[in-house]
Structure 1
Amino acid sequence: MDIFINNKRVSNEEIDAWEFKRLKYQYQFFMKRGYDLTNPSEAPNIKSARKDMGRFKASIKPEQLRRILKNRYKIGNLISKMTALLSRGKRRYSMTEFFIPTTLSPERVMDDIKKIMLENTQEHLFMNLATNPDHFVLLGIGDNIQEVVEMTGGSPLPTRFFAHYGDESGLTSSRSEGYLVQLAGCAKLEDGTVIGGVRHQIKREENGIRFKALVEFPSMVPKFMLNKHQYHLACEFREWLGYIIK
């Protein structure tokens, strides 16, 4: 799998370094709240640390994770709402691209991505928590709706929002030329405020597929936060796509 940020190939080691930094942050966050965890070493087995954190978060019920994070995501949601209102519908994009040699069709891959997002099997629930240290709750809660509690790439605070796949309200991106398969939708707060969205796309390319993970943020979000979110996308989608293509 080749991963590209700003048209430049990034190594797994670079993504591992980002992931390890976020793992340590989350370990410390939970340890300060009385949970008995072993902080990963300075020279980690990243796969082992990733699974350990995933198992730990999966052992806590979603309603308990919401309680732990509620005061913080209430502030994060307020900031997101104000940022969206001040941006007046204008958007900035955070995007990471992947090329994966495979014979699987774009339709099959995107269908599997959607299943991971929306079908609450034990395997999917664990995978969604383990793929990124900054994931806390990822649950399908209705027809094409996913509840998400996470810290976006550069944010110091979590946000709780609802991804409405198939609802492109407020999206300003468009499907790129040649990308015939997409999963697009807006992100809404519980009160219905649209704070962004996604437009993930796939196309066939030579002996494989090219996957474009694109997230829309309000234009007032600082550029450095969008840049950091590119690593958030690299971290989670290399695991999801790797699982599908294995």
Structure 2
Amino acid sequence: MTIGLEIFIEGERIAPDRVAGWEQRSAAKALRRLGAPSDSQDLERLRQQLLERKHALGHGGIRTRLRRELALSDMVARLVAWMSRGHRVYSVIEIVSPVGTAEAFANWFEEVARLNREDVMIAALPEHYLIATDTAGRQEVIETNGGAPMAARFFVDYDDLSSLKSEADPDYPVQVAGVARAPNGAAIGGVRHQFRNEGTGFHAKLTVEFPSLIMPSVVTGHRWHLACEFSNWIRAAIAELHPE
């Protein structure tokens, strides 16, 4: 099924080919970071090469290959969070799907995470290097945040809303939200993704919280990150929940 998603960044409707172009550039960067550069410009081929490379490295290989920049980005993230004194800035986009429901998508997303379906979780974005949920329900993530120069490692706990600063919007009754913490447990941000039914489909308002003193380019770049990953996740969910 081909789904005509509407994607909005700062109120501007973004053409799908712009998101695809961003994903293509992100894929080329991710392959270089993983030591497997490609000459291909075809997005589907790049996606396949990335999945193959990530699977070949495995979790241990990815952590080892990225260990130096992860150590540095962790130090920077904790410092920026400490200097920000709990203040946050938000990276927000909206996506409208003409098919599906808010409840069904949120349930699908939570189940995919719980089952560690990496075929879906890491395939949604080139610079998703590792997304794995442990037995306690925490989600370990290694990814590049938007316009950040380095990959980062952090943990998201969807049962913990304690340090989130964004407010739940009553017009969006369904949400997937949680605190993001550094490996040492320090709160460094979080997510509040909210959904509502709209017409024959649903409307998603997707929010990532960053420490207020983070580089502005990370915040603006992360809007494209959200547009890419959630448009791919929504398409994957619709394909599984509404096969035709």
Whether 1:198 and 2:195 are equivalent positions in the alignment is: no
* Candidates 5, 13, 22, aligned match of 2:26: 22
Percent of residue pairs bearing the same amino acid type: 30
* Residue number in structure 1 paired with 2:51: 54
Tell me which residue corresponds to 2:224. Answer: 231
Q: Distance in 2 between matches of 1:148 and 1:38?
A: 23
Deviation at 1:113, TM superposition (A): 0.8
Asked whether 1:187 is paired with 2:180, we answer yes
Match of 2:13 in 1: 9
Structure-1 residue corresponding to 2:109: 113
Separation in 2, partners of 1:58, 1:130: 11
**Deviation of residue 127 (structure 1)?**
2.1
Residues 73-84 of structure 1 mapped to structure 2, 5 A cutoff: 73-84=70-81
2:202 aligned residue (193, 209, 213): 209
Task: Give how far 1:129 is off.
Answer: 1.9
Distance in 2 (alpha carbons) for counterparts of 1:157 and 1:89: 23
1:160-201 per-position Cα deviation (integer Å, ceiling 9, x unaligned): 111000201211101113111101100011211000000011
Q: How many aligned residue pairs are there?
A: 235
Cα deviations by residue, 1:48-72 (Å, 9 ceiling, x for unpaired): 2112212221222101110111111
Map residues 143-182 of structure 1 onto 2, 5 A cutoff. 143-182=136-175
Distance in 2 between residues matched to 1:4 and 1:117, nearest whole Å: 25
Asked if the contact 1:154–1:225 (Cα under 8 Å) also holds between the matched residues in 2, the reply is yes
Of 59, 66, 70, the match for 1:69: 66
Q: CA RMSD in A?
A: 1.3
What is the alpha-carbon distance in structure 1 between the residues aligned to residue 189 and residue 37 of structure 2? 36
Code of the aligned partner of 1:198: V
In 1, Cα distance between equivalents of 2:39 and 2:234: 25
Partner of 1:243: 236
- Are 1:166 and 1:183, in contact at CA under 8 Å, matched by a contact in 2? no
Contact 1:101 1:207 in 2 (8 A): yes
C-alpha separation in 2, matches of 1:140 and 1:22:
24
- Contact kept? 1:58, 1:126, Cα under 8 Å: no
User: Per the alignment, do residues 178 and 24 of structure 1 end up closer, same or farther by CA in structure 2, a change over 3 Å counting?
Assistant: same
Distance across 1 between alignment mates of 2:115 and 2:193: 18
TM-score by length of 1: 0.91
Q: For 2:55 and 2:206, how far apart are their aligned partners in 1?
A: 25
Contact 2:173 2:194 in 1 (8 A): yes
Contact 1:118 1:145 in 2 (8 A): no
CA shift for structure 1 position 24: 1.3
